Amino acid sequence: MLRIKLLTAAAATALLAAPAAMAQTAPAQTTAPQTAPAAAPAAQALPPIASENVIEVLKAHGRFSTLLQALDQSQLTETLATRDRITIFAPTDEVFAGLPEGERARLLAPANVQELRNLMLYHVLVADLTPEQIIGARGPIATAGGLEVTIDGTGDAIAIDNATVTETAIDAANGGIYVIDRLLDPNAAAQGDAEAAPAAPATGVNAPNGQPAAAVTTTASPPVQNPTDGQVDETEDPGNPAPTPN
């Protein structure tokens, strides 16, 4: 899987470099054959990172231990390792270390596993989003958790919501990874959705099945003009005399 790197050329070449095998040969013999010492084994080449899944790539780069811990805590590691076409927006350990005191520990606490899972799913796309698709474009895309994240490729660097992509893109066998400089906030996205489509107020009205109705809309009718408004009877009805004011 080939990607075009959008940042500096130096960053692009440094990410996926792997050492090549160095074969060693014995020097040419100039005298009578002798028993030569055993030759040192050739250095074994490391497998290209792009042949590993996104989880293995994160482990290989060594800067995402907290993210990997959070994915484990959220029970997402195996899913991301085995599913095809995955994109991860990956905050580094430095990003997690910059969180307010106690926030990192709170997020990783077992009691907050659902909140952590929602946070991690907001950093995942079930799609292999390539830089070519981002350049010159801006708009929302649904994350694995259902909320939309805004991707902006119209500037000097790619922006994901309020985060900036610092390295793009690290290839993996089943997708890719974009390194970002801050944690994305799904709560901000949820609040934005709520402002765009405010929920109907609770009415307390039950539907025919006995369950609370989802919504009840009341429409004010225009005032109806009484045809007798402003008119005064000239002849008093003897059977219904008008009251005499005191």
Predicted confidence band of residue 193 (pLDDT cuts 50, 70, 90): low
Supply the pLDDT for residue 168.
80
* Cβ proximity of 168 and 178 under 8 Å: yes
Q: How does the average pLDDT of the chain come out, rounded?
A: 72
Rounding to the nearest 10 degrees, give the CA dihedral for residues 177, 179, 185, 191. -70
Supply the pLDDT for residue 188.
83
Predicted confidence band of residue 217 (pLDDT cuts 50, 70, 90): very low
Supply the pLDDT for residue 239.
58
pLDDT in tens, 8-49: 323 322 222 322 222 223 334 434 444 444 444 443 444 445
pLDDT in tens, 147-188: 999 999 999 999 999 999 999 889 999 999 999 999 999 988
* Cβ proximity of 67 and 90 under 8 Å: yes
Give 121's contacts (C-beta < 8 A, 6+ positions apart). Answer: 74, 76, 143, 144, 145, 146, 186
Q: Please state which of the ranges 26-30, 54-58, 75-79 shows the lowest mean pLDDT.
A: 26-30
Average pLDDT over every residue of 229-234: 49
Average pLDDT over every residue of 104-133: 95
Joined tokens for residue 2: 């080939």
Q: Which of these CATH numbers, 2.120.10.80, 2.30.180.10, 2.40.50.140, 1.20.120.920, describes 46-130+165-184?
A: 2.30.180.10
Distance between CA atoms of residues 209 and 238, nearest Å: 55
Distance between CA atoms of residues 47 and 20, nearest Å: 10
Backbone angles phi, psi at 138, to 5 degrees: -150, 135
Give 136's contacts (C-beta < 8 A, 6+ positions apart). Answer: 153, 154
